[in-house]
Amino acid sequence: MFSNFIVAVSAVVPIFVLIGIGLLVQRAHLLTKEELAHTNRLVFRVFFFFTLFSNIYNADFADGFNPRLMLFGAAAVTLLFLGGLAFSCLFEPLRKRRGAMTQAIFRSNFIILGLPLVVNIFGEDGALMPTMMVAVIIPLYNIYAVLALETFRGGTFRLLPILRGVLKNPMIDGMLLGFLCRLLPFPLPDPLLRPLMQVGAATTPLALIILGASFRRGGISESRRDLWACVFIRLIAAPALVLTAAALLGFRGVEFVTLLAIFATPCAVASYAMAQQMGSDAALAGNTVVFTSALSCFTIFGWIFLTKTLGLF
């Protein structure tokens, strides 16, 4: 039992120490809102690009490619998306809030919090399987988010612009470049490859510090009921359903923890920007990010400790 406790602590504490450093950066006013926005854009467009590139370029695909896991992950995201649509329509009469609620239910912070979680438990060798899942999960997140937000603001869902947007996603582009470089008849020279790897290695600490520095408290009185419903579903109900199904289907080890990293992590930071840009309730979207991120230090620890005790990894 104590060893399981240590595993859970070792997985969660490093992540939230880095977020805590970000909170100190915020309190010291070392970065303005504009500087944070620019740094966030830099992390997303440059650092994540090289992280995914380095993971794919150095990958052993015999160990990482898992069609059964990919199919399960895609099906689970799709079902959560459909469930989020239905729940938001039944629970919230205001159309403006429904898109933000749907995003909060199905879209997690898999890249910033999930990938480091798997690495903290299994080491760098365990990063390949969740990296391969990025190719499935991130496009689905983008497509479903646009579909939900357009639906509830009365817009038109157009598939081709969405697909073009997915192909412009730096994480997808980094993976594609990694695949292309693996096809070359010669390895990349070390003086070129080494700095690319160093940039990729710096991504997680920087992204988590910026996440902590970006936390803002907003008014929640108008949408308190919606907020706490989203928090409960994102951190408790959704992972309970998906992880139970995964356990019953026989997923174990790094497969199971990869699913935990996708479905038990808090709301995606990008959901706030998308809600703001597409006419949804940006305040609600921002609060779901803040509150799920803050509370996930306890819920993620609980899920890891529980599932480790049950022998699922």
Q: Is the dihedral of CA 188, 192, 194, 199 positive or negative?
A: negative
Residue 111 located in a structural domain? yes
Residue 86 located in a structural domain? yes
pLDDT at 136: 86
65 and 59 in contact (C-beta within 8 Å)?
no
Report the distance separating Cα 199 and Cα 306, nearest Å: 35
The CATH number linked to 30 is 1.20.1530.20
Burial class for 209, CB neighbours closer than 10 Å (0-12, 13-18, 19+): buried
Residue 219 located in a structural domain? no
Total tally of structural domains belonging to the chain: 1
pTM summary value:
0.82
Residue 220 located in a structural domain? no
The enclosing H or E element of 41 equals helix 33-42
Closest by CA position to 140, among listed 76, 83, 79, 74: 74
User: Which amino acid, residue 189?
Assistant: P
What is the pLDDT tens value at each position of the chain, 313 positions in all?
667 777 677 778 887 888 889 889 988 989 888 888 788 778 878 888 888 788 778 776 666 678 999 999 999 999 999 999 999 999 988 888 999 999 999 999 888 888 888 988 988 777 888 888 888 888 888 888 888 888 887 666 677 776 776 677 787 788 889 889 988 888 888 898 899 888 888 887 888 888 788 776 655 656 789 999 999 999 999 999 999 999 999 999 999 999 999 999 999 877 877 787 777 887 888 889 888 988 988 999 999 999 999 999 9
Question: Which residue range(s) make up the domain with 21?
Answer: 2-184+192-214+225-309
262 and 108 in contact (C-beta within 8 Å)?
yes
Adjacent-strand bridge partners of 108: 267
Residue 234 located in a structural domain? yes
Residue 74 located in a structural domain? yes
Residues 6+ apart with CB under 8 A from 14: 116, 120
pLDDT at 253: 93
